[in-house]
Amino acid sequence: MFANRGASANPPVIVVKAEGISPRYLYESYLYSSIPSFMLVPLAGLRVSLEQLSGPLASNEVHGPARILFTNSSGVLVALAVQGNYSVQAETRYAQLNTTISCYDNTTTILNIALLASPTKVDSLRVVSQDSVTGLEPTTKLYAFLANATIPDSGFAELVGFQSTYPGVSNETSVAVNSTILGWYSTSLETLVMLSPSGPYSSYPSVGMVLFQYKPVYEVNYTAG
């Protein structure tokens, strides 16, 4: 239940703060159990949908369509609201967050979003339909064998590692292939994952391979005023 707004009440304010793992530190983040703050950067241009689900009792307000807002260069957006419950949807190319928040008069609701990368070690990689003359075809599939029979989620994934001219020797520059996970087959020992690359690519990793999938985590806080 929401109290009726008094004459001196200030309308609710919604603040969204978004950050994510920097591509610069993506592979290095694999070595950490929790991501250090220096590896995170603001998520600018994050698309956020706000839709009011409920309002004060006896309210005559007509709930309009969802509001579409975007974070600024600092990964922040600020919006005035009316008292009530809101559905929040934050969309990126990597993952999507769906949650609800509550807004109250004289209160700022702060939604902190972090887009983190969940890594899984790849034991081996098999490339199907490789064209050795013109490079790899856009439709070439990658079959990754994951350690510990890990079950991945469907959707976007990023395969990162290094190329090696000689066994046991890796280049300093990593190689990344953006892909979509089409499916998998799991046994008690390992999981075979089928990856469909997002577009043409000229190289793929052969050593130190890690499959990253992104997941959004969030926290809601409230401050007076």
Whether residue 43 sits in one domain with residue 102: yes
Average pLDDT value for residue range 205-224: 93
Number of domains in the chain: 2
Distance CA(123)–CA(190), nearest Å, equals 9
| Mean pLDDT over the full length of the chain | 85
Residues facing residue 177 across a β-bridge: 159
**Contact indicator for 205, 173 with CB cutoff of 8 Å:** no
pLDDT (0 to 100) of residue 39:
96
Whether residue 39 sits in one domain with residue 74: yes
Record the tokens describing residue 107, joined without a space. Answer: 């209160």
Q: What is the pLDDT of residues 135-178, one digit of tens each?
A: 455 567 899 999 776 788 889 999 999 887 666 565 566 789 99
- At 199, which CATH number? 2.40.30
Whether residue 172 sits in one domain with residue 109: no
Q: Does 184 map to a domain?
A: yes
Whether residue 17 sits in one domain with residue 112: yes
Distance CA(46)–CA(65), nearest Å, equals 19
Whether residue 104 sits in one domain with residue 134: no
Residues facing residue 109 across a β-bridge: 14, 222
Whether residue 203 sits in one domain with residue 157: yes
pLDDT (0 to 100) of residue 98:
96
Percent of the chain with pLDDT over 70: 83
Whether residue 74 sits in one domain with residue 33: yes
Average pLDDT value for residue range 93-120: 94
Whether residue 93 sits in one domain with residue 131: no
The domain containing residue 184 runs over which residues?
Answer: 118-214
Give the pLDDT band (50/70/90) at residue 132.
very low
Give the pLDDT band (50/70/90) at residue 8.
low
Whether residue 103 sits in one domain with residue 27: yes
**pLDDT value at 44 more than 60:** yes
**pLDDT value at 204 more than 80:** yes
Q: Does 205 map to a domain?
A: yes
More confident residue, 5 or 156: 156
pLDDT (0 to 100) of residue 144:
93
Whether residue 130 sits in one domain with residue 185: yes
Q: Does 1 map to a domain?
A: no
**pLDDT value at 21 more than 90:** yes
Q: Which amino acid is at 41?
A: V
Whether residue 140 sits in one domain with residue 111: no
Question: Which residues are CB-contacts of 70 (< 8 A; sequence separation ≥ 6)?
Answer: 45, 46, 47, 48, 77
**Contact indicator for 200, 189 with CB cutoff of 8 Å:** no
Whether residue 129 sits in one domain with residue 207: yes
Indicate the burial class of 116 (C-beta count within 10 angstroms; 0-12, 13-18, 19 or more).
buried
Looking at residue 95, what DSSP letter applies?
A: -
- At 58, which CATH number? 2.60.40.10
Average pLDDT value for residue range 39-44: 96
Q: Does 39 map to a domain?
A: yes
pLDDT (0 to 100) of residue 130:
52
pLDDT (0 to 100) of residue 169:
60
